[in-house]
Structure 1
Amino acid sequence: MLKTFDDRMPGSSLSSKAAESAGAPLEQSGKGREALLNCLISGGDERLECEPATGLNMYGYGPSPRPQDLAFGSSTASTISASAFAAVGAYHADLLRELETGPAADIYAREIAQARTELLRLLGLDRGLGSSPVDVIMATSGTDIHLFAATLLARQDDQTLMTITLMGNETGSGVMAAASGRHFMSRVSNTCPVAKGEELSPGHATRNTSVAVRNADGTLRSDEEIEFELRGLIELARAAGLRCLLVVTDVSKTSLLAPGLEAVFRLKARFGAMLDIMIDACQFRVSAATIGAYLSHDFLVAVTGSKFLAGPIFSGALFCSPRMSDRLKPRTLPAALADYCAQADWPEGWIARDVLPHRANFGLLLRWKAALFELERFVRAPEEKVIAVLSAFARAVGERLEQGSAFRLLDGRPIDRKPLWDGSDAVCWDEIPSIFSFYLRNPHQGGMLTATETAAVYRNLAVEHGDLVPVRLGQPVRCADFGDMPASALRICLSAPLIVQACESADALDELISQAMTVLDRTADAAAQLTFQPGSARASL
């Protein structure tokens, strides 16, 4: 039975040694657990592959729970929690039993439809907007969503599409390729090899460009300057007979909302139907009310379950308002997109389903089930407690980063969504930052760490050293050049499971903050222990 399930579930295989290294000794858990681990890393591209020696993927994460880790790196990726793993394991066992007698593709179609319904229910969107339903396209990753959006909007009215993405280095590494309608990895979710960088639909690739949000030294450009550049690009596109898709990031890897929403609404009013807006909320650090507000303006909204929600990597979704659905559901897809998704991943009634295979991707299903498990726990937490936890964490971490000689805060700005609410001053939990970005320096020698040295600190912290458990921070983000020296920022982040746990009691909140202080202490120690290379370029704070 297990072999039949795995044959129907394309994906990487996790060796016994790798599973044990990832915290899942098969001697204790049996073949059912091994099949579950294999399923959780299946149905995606090579980013899901785990090294046999470590059981970890390219992000340093595996499919097994790691409750011993100090897990503050959810802006990059997360490890599945023990409770979510248990819930998904029971669900997986039920699937295995049902697959003994039922077709895999039919079972998957039913279950992914239920997952879509559950996602909408937890966000209060199950009754739609007004009397019309909200549609959701399921995807294996946030990058896939960018590809889907560009593909759906390309060649509308026989016009070429131009996508405009802000701060390409603060979104996914493959986003620019995906936004231009090109393969962004060398393998797709059905394990088929593809030519990275090649157009999915030859001759119909989307044009794309990126607008910087930061200056070369990492400081933020003004909203006015960014809006002026965007307006000029869209004017040029209109003059050339192009349509535009502006990707608004809410929030970025370093907790930016860009461009500002006032500018977004002015641009939309100026350019009308030739400009579409997609909200890249793939961090999922947005409330249900915020998602609903974006949809009410007919903006597409992209999310993933693997960042703030802390589900395992590779689960995405694209929300479409009723009016956007009416526009997009008659659109056809290039045949090459059949390698990226299954028919059931798209809503009923969409023409796109016609070119897609009737097949199963149980890896995607299980990863979304884990994310939904965490989302349900989070939405049950009283908002006033969530706000209290976020506020206390922000104060403690902000003060530590400002006062510590090993840190320098990356330039940022408050999250301002007031244009969505007609200027309302009511505080929502998603306006309180949950990502804190900082450069590192060696406090003994006075120099700021280079991007290479910061990466070395990041990797060193993630490895267990004697009695010291691994520290999980957000991967370094390349943000600045100080003279000739490239610099990157690390990130300490809150996730939904950490917040839910801290909501339980004052002691639990104190423990969360204590753990964060330990993480920052160990990060400062790691920076201080680096040996600088003689003659290397270095900037002082």
Structure 2
Amino acid sequence: MLKTLDDCAPGLAPNGKMAVTEGGPLKVSGAGRDALLNCLISGGDERLECEPATGLNMYGHGPSPRPRDLAFGSSTASTISAPAFAAVGAYHADLVREMETRPAAEIYAREIARMRAKLLRLLGLDRSAGPSQVDAIMATSGTDIHLFAASLLARQGDRTLMTITLMGNETGSGVMTAASGRHFMSCVGGNRPVGKGEELSPGHATRNTTVAVRNADGTLRSEDEIELELRGLIELARAAELRCLLVVTDVSKTSLLAPSLETVFRLKERFGAMLDIMIDACQFRVSAATIRAYLAHDFLVAVTGSKFLAGPIFSGALLCPPRMSDRLKQRSLPPALADYCAKADWPEGWVARDVLPDHANFGLLLRWKAALFELERFVGMSEDKVIAVLSAFAEAVGKRLKQDSAFEMLDSRPIDRNRLWGERQASRWDEIPSIFSFYLRNPHRGGILTATESAAVYKNLAVEQGGLVPVRLGQPVRCADFGDMPASALRICLSAPLIAGACESADALDGMISQAMTVLDRTADMAAQLTSQPSIARASGV
């Protein structure tokens, strides 16, 4: 973790590697921009590291704006927008000046508390008074949130916890490991190596099991089948005197709400206090009203600022409703979590703070600054306009994917939250899908592209070639096996900044949809090019 802003000094990233921009290594200078870029990629794990040659991290994004990109890949990660970057730059400069006279830890504690308060205010969660209120635990990533939740709930009355999550292809590659109370990366804060998969607290790891929402061929399993499996798992846990945490994903990588809320509420009614619910809303494709409704049912809610909100990767928060806060704030944490968070990341009055250091993670602070910049802009827009933009995009993209022989849409279902509200409400923007998943078809031999071929298409589109700007899609998601051939789906999606831009005028909306059609044109062309020359796909290294 960073102790001072000087740890983000120009020229070197916190891990000791040369800091980079999208054009290559930064010059070692005193420029404030260099220090800002270094700080934006600090205070996390190796997923934040950028390659010197490209200036991009493992997700294909860097810390500086890339306004020329056709950015329709926010289901994986995003690049900071130019307006957010300007706001973060001014904020960073103010912090640097204040650092001359005040301790870093003191500044960080004050500022992360302000970020927490602003997040709650923008979500309409700052209205409760008194000791019982919604709390927000700040985290570097969504995967860290799963680790925090498992650690908090791991022991109650000497009963071991079992977590139930969706398979990682619908959530995240490290979620299952984190949900079992284990290190999910090989390095943690400060670049300290750890044993990936090792227990944070030896002998006290939780148990984890997963549920698939798709059949082997990528089609969706029935809700009845999933509910029956979940009920059986929780019955086994009850018989073994375990507690359970069921993680509900709203929405998943491929735009699913799973398991269904009808299933969730029936399970909660059946199993009562032994079953806790956490909503994984880390895509943040949910409205403030939806979040408030989940919290009103005493569900934990996990969000991040790096997907739909399009902030830089690595900013998260675990929202705890009042009764859960009252219950969890007296829980201690494994000392090993000191590598994942700082004392100030947890709300005042939580016992968890006692084992955590007074570190200052200015990287997390700046990334949340960018995410909240976008959230504030988004929540200030008319819902009618947002619905109009989402509906127009869904109609245009859905029609193209269904009618163009270059694509095959992945099996999906509507987002249904009626059970959350108790009765049918007016149309809500978060009921309209903003992620569209599709396979690529091979125009030469027929059939679906293999997972390797789809990954090659994704990778090549993200590189500027022949004067064509990079195309950013959602990373391929392994969704099916056709015989012995694995297949992956790519994703085209909207982000809050894209929606905000399209809300400005009819011409802006038409322009955004035109860009989306260009993205699909380029994707189909790249698939045709690579499959006509298989050696190119192999040479791509995927």
Give the structure-1-normalised TM-score. 0.95
- Indicate whether 1:434 and 2:437 are aligned: no
Match of 2:215 in 1: 215
- Structure 1 partner of 2:528: 528
Contact 1:129–1:321 (Cα < 8 Å) also in 2: no
CA gap 1:334/1:446 in 2 versus in 1, 3 angstroms = same
In structure 1, the residue matched to 2:392 is 392
- Give 1:539's aligned residue: none
1:12 pairs, out of 2, 7, 15, with: 15
TM-superposed deviation, 1:13? 5.3
Q: Secondary structure at the match of 2:318?
A: strand
Query: Which amino acid letter does the alignment assign opposite residue 83 of structure 1?
Result: P
Q: Is this contact kept in 2: 1:129–1:296, CA < 8 A?
A: no
Decide whether the 8 Å contact of 2:302 with 2:319 is kept in 1. Answer: yes
Written as runs of structure 1 = structure 2, the 5 A alignment for 1:136-535 is 136-531=136-531
Give 1:139 shift: 0.2
After superposition, the Cα gap between the structure-2 partners of 1:193 and 1:445, relative to the gap in structure 1 and judged at 3 Å, is: same
Equivalent position amino acid for 2:344 in 1: A
Shift of 1:312: 0.1
Asked if 2 retains the 8 angstrom alpha-carbon contact of 1:435 and 1:492, the reply is yes
Query: What SS is found at the alignment partner of 2:169?
Result: helix
Matching residue of 1:108: 108
8 Å Cα contact 1:26/1:33 also seen in 2: no
Instruction: Give the 3-state SS of the residue equivalent to 2:314 in structure 1.
Output: coil
Per the alignment, in what secondary structure is the counterpart of residue 391 of structure 1?
Answer: helix
Q: Distance in 1 between matches of 2:227 and 2:531?
A: 43
Structure-1 separation of matches of 2:335 and 2:313: 26
Residue 194 of structure 1 and its aligned partner are, at CA, apart by: 1.3
Task: Please tell me whether the aligned partners of residues 42 and 48 of structure 2 are also in contact (alpha carbons under 8 angstroms).
Answer: yes
Give 5+ residue unaligned stretches, structure 2: 538-542
> Share of identical aligned residues, percent?
81
1:522 CA drift (Å): 0.5
In 1, Cα distance between equivalents of 2:511 and 2:370: 25
Distance 1:317 1:299 in 2: 14
Match of 1:381, SS state, is coil
Match of 2:50 in 1: 50
Q: Conserved in 2, the CA contact under 8 Å of 1:410 and 1:439?
A: yes
- Indicate how the Cα distance of structure 1 residues 444 and 372 shifts in structure 2: closer, same or farther if over 3 A, else same: same
- Aligned equivalents of 2:343 and 2:358: distance in 1? 5
Question: Greater shift after overlay, 440-449 or 71-80?
Answer: 440-449
Work out whether residues 8 and 38 of structure 2, in 8 Å CA contact, stay in contact via their aligned partners in 1: no
Unaligned residue ranges in structure 1 (runs of 5+): 537-541
Distance 2:463 2:75 in 1: 19
Quote how far apart the aligned CAs of 1:6 are.
2.8
User: What SS does structure 2 have at the residue aligned with 1:530?
Assistant: helix
Residues 298 and 323 in structure 2, CA contact (< 8 A), matched pair in contact too: yes
Secondary structure of the 1:168 match is: coil
Q: Which of these residues, 11, 21, 24, is aligned with residue 23 of structure 2?
A: 21
Compared with structure 1, are the counterparts of its residues 246 and 218 closer, same or farther at alpha carbon in structure 2 (3 Å cutoff)? same
Q: Contact 2:134–2:319 (CA<8 Å) still a contact in 1?
A: yes
**Pairwise CA RMSD:** 1.9
Distance 1:415 1:129 in 2: 33
Moved over 4 A (4+): 24-27
Match of 1:135 in 2: 135
Alpha-carbon displacement from aligned partner over 1:104-124 (angstroms, at most 9, x marks no partner): 001000000000000001111
Where does 1:65-76 land on structure 2 (aligned, <5 Å)? Answer: 65-76=65-76
Report the Cα offset of residue 188 of structure 1: 1.3
Distance 1:154 1:387 in 2: 41
Offset of residue 131 of structure 1? 8.3
Equivalent position SS for 1:449: coil
Residues 531, 424 of structure 1: CA spacing in aligned structure 2 closer, same or farther, 3 A cutoff? closer
* Residues 14 and 21 of structure 1, relative CA distance in 2, 3 Å threshold: farther
Matched, 1:62 2:65: no
- Residue 254 of structure 1 aligns to a residue whose secondary structure is coil
Q: Specify the code of the residue in structure 2 equivalent to 1:300.
A: L
- Give the whole-Å Cα distance in 1 for the aligned partners of 2:166 and 2:518: 34
Q: What is the distance in 1 between the residues matched to 2:261 and 2:77?
A: 27
Corresponding residue SS for 2:530: coil
Deviation string 1:342-364 (CA, Å, 9 cap, x unpaired) is 00000000000000001100000
Q: Aligned residue pairs: how many?
A: 531
**Distance (Å, rounded) in 1 between the aligned partners of 2:22 and 2:218:** 41
Give the letter for the 1:463 counterpart.
Answer: V
